[in-house]
Amino acid sequence: MNLKKIFDFISNLDQNNNREWFAENKDLYLSAKADFDDFVDIVGKQLEVIDPNFRYSQAKDYTFRIYRDVRFSMNKLPYKNHFGAFLANGGRKSINAGYYFHIEPNASFIGGGLYRPQKEVLKAMRQEIYYSHKDLEKIVLKDDFRKYYPEFMSDKLKKGPKDFPKDCDAIEWLKYKSIAVSHAITNEEVISDSFAKDIINGFKILSPMNDFINNAVRENLEVE
């Protein structure tokens, strides 16, 4: 397994993001993808240890296709310039909060949480935050959490959601459309022997926040 191979492939793809080049070099893609899938297996199985609620299946359930959907995009490049995996019960399309890692030259990161959830899931999360925002703050305002994940995704309403009083103590948390965080990773960290361990350490810090969100979803939507 060689994650540097992923960097090399993506760097070449950046210079040749067209179907002709990709077809001629698909063996390079398949080789890089095989290494990425092997790495997802390693991380997924270790994640089961730190998050007893998570059950790993197989890499293809969590990894994203490299092919872009260009139908409604101004960017017509056919291929993504990164490899990514979202680890959550139910796979990459799960409505649960989960764990994400993203490999891209000079732009790799790990993170997770709940990103742009469906309306009913967002409402379930907000209901829990409304009643238990102090519990959320005990998790995300801890020194180790803030040091590793200094900011939440800046994806907020200008005013609070209509279903909640605008003067409640939790209003700033309720404005978020996503409860998601990230931590930048250098190229050197990605290709180091300790990368899997580093990811798991980051996910361990994130795990209590995901538990908070997933408990809210399970209780309000009866999701397994």
How many domains is the chain partitioned into structurally? 1
CATH number for position 188: 3.30.930
The per-residue pLDDT for 69 is: 86
Put the strands of the sheet holding 98-103 in their side by side order.
83-87, 98-103, 108-114, 179-185
Over residues 54-84, the pLDDT tens digits come to 999 999 999 999 999 878 777 889 999 999 9
Distances (CA, A) of 151 to 15, 87, 110, 184: 33, 21, 13, 12
Helix 4-15 and helix 26-50: axis angle, to 10°?
A: 140
Q: Which of 64-78, 81-95, 109-123, 172-186 has the lowest mean pLDDT?
A: 64-78
The per-residue pLDDT for 224 is: 44
Q: Dihedrals φ, ψ of 75, to 5°? A: -85, 110
d(CA 143, CA 124): 27
Over residues 80-105, the pLDDT tens digits come to 999 999 999 999 999 999 999 999 99
d(CA 152, CA 39): 27
Q: What is the pTM of this model?
A: 0.92
d(CA 178, CA 193): 32
d(CA 32, CA 36): 6
The per-residue pLDDT for 138 is: 96
Question: 192 in helix, strand or coil?
Answer: coil
Q: Which amino acid is at 33?
A: K
Q: Which helix (H) or strand (E) holds 85?
A: strand 83-87
Residue 12 tokens read as 């070449």
Closest C-alpha to 114, from 41, 215, 214, 9: 214
Residue reference for tokens 């969100």: 213
In the predicted model, is pLDDT for residue 223 greater than 70? no
Mean pLDDT rounded to a whole number for the chain? 92
**Per DSSP, what are the bridge partners of residue 72?**
none
Please give the residue range of the domain that contains residue 217.
4-221
d(CA 22, CA 50): 38
Give the residue-averaged pLDDT of 149-165.
Answer: 88
The per-residue pLDDT for 222 is: 53
Contacts with 99 (C-beta within 8 Å, 6 or more apart), sequence order: 47, 51, 86, 87, 88, 110, 111, 112, 203, 206, 210
